[in-house]
Amino acid sequence: MSIKPEERIAATLARLILDPAAPPARHIAVGAASPIPAAACWLVKKQGHPVRLSLLHKRSGNPFTEGSRELFDLTGQGRIDLFFLGGGQIDGQANINLVGTGAWPGTGVRFPGSFGSAFMYVMTPRTILFRDEHSPRVLVDKVDMISAPGVSPPGVFRRGTAQALVTGRCVFRFHPDRARFTLDSVHPGETVASIRAETGFDFDVPDTVPATPDPTEAELALLRGPVCDEMLETYPEFCARVFGRKHAA
Amino acid sequence: MTPIPLEAMAASVPDGALLALPPDNSLPSVALARALVRRGAKGLRLLGVPVSGFATDLLIGAGCVAEVETSAVSLGEAGFAPRFSAALKEGRIIVRDATCPAIHTMLQAAEKGVPFMPLRGLIGSDILANRPDWRLVDNPFADGGDPIVLLPAKSPDVAAIHGVMADAEGNVWVGRRRELATLAHASKRVLATVERLVPGNMLEDERLAPGCINATYIDSIAIARRGAWPVALLDEYGFDAAHVAEYARLAKTAEGFAEYLARHVLGQPAQAAE
């Protein structure tokens, strides 16, 4: 069975979660419509790392007894270490747009909306951005509108920002001090030139850019087995498409 | 508390009401939404607490809605909400974008009876730039230079929730979804549909009491079997993904949506089932 793009992104996210250079991730939250980050978190957990996972949309055994309000209150206090955000558009300053294109509130294409991003991105020490589609329409020079900003002016309370952006083609690291991304690794089949061609924003490139490592056999076995088992109830369509597994209703 | 018929409950919601609906994973009364479509409600202002799903798209498609205040509208794995997107594009609804904790906070302010509450974050988001009703102030407890957003209290006219059961006193059991208590405390009226009635008083049972919304806050109750369908209800029944996918496919066009309404909302069989 060949490696699916979603499996590669999940394994890459898992390595970023465990990055020893980043602040520790003791309590990780996963929001709505986030099957790939959920898979990455379960992979970390099934590898035996002692993390607390709070998956907002888990039905059986949901971690919260006060719904999403409890997630935001925990985050407000600084008790969530890591969160994940996607974006209909993401720009070179790590601003994310979940509202839409054109004029406010999305007169071109309307996306679902900002969810908790305008709070979570600012109040969580670490955020990992993810988006499988890597194209100039998604990765833009400047987002049409800002759901949540990548950096804040001095004096505005902020605990953290993007650690990295993982796409279907590469991994970028974010540097908030200069509000720019650096290319960190490229997935198989990609080059610096092909990433440049598919990216609407300018970014920095080190002298050598390594290949993103493939998921190991052990990681794939965990993803397709115990990780999928945990996700079937919440993400049946994703599990059927990526892991070829059906949820017994 | 004596239950009333579902259609009478829908008749009690005036046109133009600010109607709060929980999201698809937190016990919205989809049965009441269907009954509002059947009664031909107009000009409703919907509040997603804190996001919106199936019932919101249904009400928008049926022409019942003038405004939506929410943090997102989606059908989960079935994708974007098609009737919401179409109505926004055609300028038939006003959309007030928010972010989830802001909606919770506005309800918490109403629950406490205070005029506003502060919330961190938001600064630098275009959501704030498009919300003239939200204010940026300097934290009066710091020595200056700490901007923070104030949000006004929000008190919905009606909250439409679907609980598992109601007892003879009118207490409604919602299990772990206790964020519904905040919504109930903040709303002027709570209309609760339930799967079934149980005798006695659940507040006398230590195991049930924490999952109850006290009858103090409940305006009326109607029995609606499978009243959350096609969304899930705790451990009673799951999300009907096939049905929502069928809805998403049909609701891509106005004609398809009309076909869906005729088949699942307006027809006699649907009324009998509820």
Pick from B74, B178, B239: CB nearest A65: B178
Confidence of residue B270 (pLDDT cuts 50, 70, 90): very low
Chain B environment of A152 (Cβ under 8 Å): 123-124
Closest CA to A104 of B97, B14, B217: B97
Full 3-state SS string of chain A: CCCCHHHHHHHHHHHHHCCCCCCCCCEEEECCCCHHHHHHHHHHHHCCCCCEEEECCCCCCCCCCCHHHHHHHHHHHCCCCEEEECCCEEECCCCEECCECCCCCCCCCECCCCCCHHHHHHHCCEEEEEECCCCCCCEECCCCCCCECCCCCCCCCCCCEEEEEEECCEEEEEECCCCEEEEEEECCCCCHHHHHHHCCCCCECCCCCCECCCCCHHHHHHHHHHHHHHHCCCCHHHHHHHHCCCCCC
**For every one of its 249 residues, what pLDDT tens digit does chain A have, with 9 covering 90 and above?**
799 999 999 999 999 999 999 988 999 999 877 899 999 999 999 999 999 999 988 888 888 999 899 999 999 999 999 999 999 999 999 999 999 999 999 999 999 999 999 999 999 999 999 999 999 999 999 999 999 999 999 999 999 999 999 999 999 999 999 999 999 999 999 999 999 999 999 999 999 999 999 999 999 999 999 999 999 988 988 999 999 987 655
Query: Cβ A147–B76 below 8 Å, yes or no?
Result: no
Query: Cβ B99–A70 below 8 Å, yes or no?
Result: no
Q: What is the CATH number of the domain that holds A112?
A: 3.40.1080.10
- pLDDT tens-digit readout, B241-250: 999 999 999 9
- pLDDT tens-digit readout, B191-248: 999 999 999 999 999 999 999 999 999 999 999 999 999 999 999 999 999 999 999 9
On whether the CB atoms of residues B61 and B33 are closer than 8 A, the answer is no
Q: Does the structure's ipTM exceed the value 0.85?
A: yes
Task: Locate the chain A residue with the closest alpha carbon to B144.
Answer: A155
**By three-state DSSP, how is residue B197 classified?**
strand
Task: Locate the chain B residue with the closest alpha carbon to A145.
Answer: B126
pLDDT of A59 reads 81
**How far is the C-alpha of B150 from the C-alpha of B227, rounded, in Å?**
36
Residue A14 exposure: Cα atoms within 13 Å on the Cβ side: 28
Burial of B252 (0-12, 13-18, 19+ CB in 10 A): middle
On whether the CB atoms of residues B178 and A66 are closer than 8 A, the answer is yes
The separation between CA B201 and the C-alpha centre of its own chain, rounded to angstroms, equals 26
As a whole number of Å, the CA-based R_g of chain B is: 19
On whether the CB atoms of residues B118 and B147 are closer than 8 A, the answer is no
Q: Which CATH superfamily is domain B6-99+154-273 in?
A: Glutaconate Coenzyme A-transferase (3.40.1080.10)
pLDDT of B1 reads 86
**What are the Cα distances from residue B6, in Å, to A60, B144, B180, B223, B263?**
29, 54, 20, 7, 19
- pLDDT tens-digit readout, A132-150: 999 999 999 999 999 999 9
Domains of chain A: total: 1
**How far is the C-alpha of B228 from the C-alpha of B250, rounded, in Å?**
20
pLDDT of A248 reads 59
Confidence of residue B273 (pLDDT cuts 50, 70, 90): very low
Q: What percent of chain B has pLDDT over 90?
A: 95
Domain membership of residue A54 as a residue range: 5-243
As a whole number of Å, the CA-based R_g of chain A is: 17
Residues forming beta bridges with residue B44, ordered by sequence position: B65
Report yes or no on A136 lying in a domain: yes
The strand pair at B147-152 and B135-138 is best described as antiparallel
**How far is the C-alpha of B208 from the C-alpha of B193, rounded, in Å?**
18
pLDDT of A56 reads 87
Query: Cβ B101–A236 below 8 Å, yes or no?
Result: no
Report yes or no on A248 lying in a domain: no
Per domain, the residue ranges of chain B are: 6-99+154-273, 116-152
Query: Cβ B99–A62 below 8 Å, yes or no?
Result: no
Mean pLDDT of chain B: 96
Chain A: closest CA distance from residue B52 (Å): 9
**What are the Cα distances from residue A211, in Å, to A15, A76, A184, A187, B65?**
14, 37, 9, 6, 51
Residue B268 has pLDDT above 70, yes or no: no
- CA-based angle B152:A96:A156, to the nearest 5? 55
Residue B84 has pLDDT above 60, yes or no: yes
Residue B272 has pLDDT above 70, yes or no: no
pLDDT of A247 reads 66
The strand pair at B158-166 and B172-173 is best described as antiparallel
Structure tokens at B46: 């919907």
Query: Cβ A105–B97 below 8 Å, yes or no?
Result: yes
Closest CA to A72 of B42, B49, B102: B102
Report yes or no on A249 lying in a domain: no
Give mean pLDDT, residues B187-194.
98
Query: How many other CB atoms sit within 10 Å of the CB of residue B94?
Result: 14
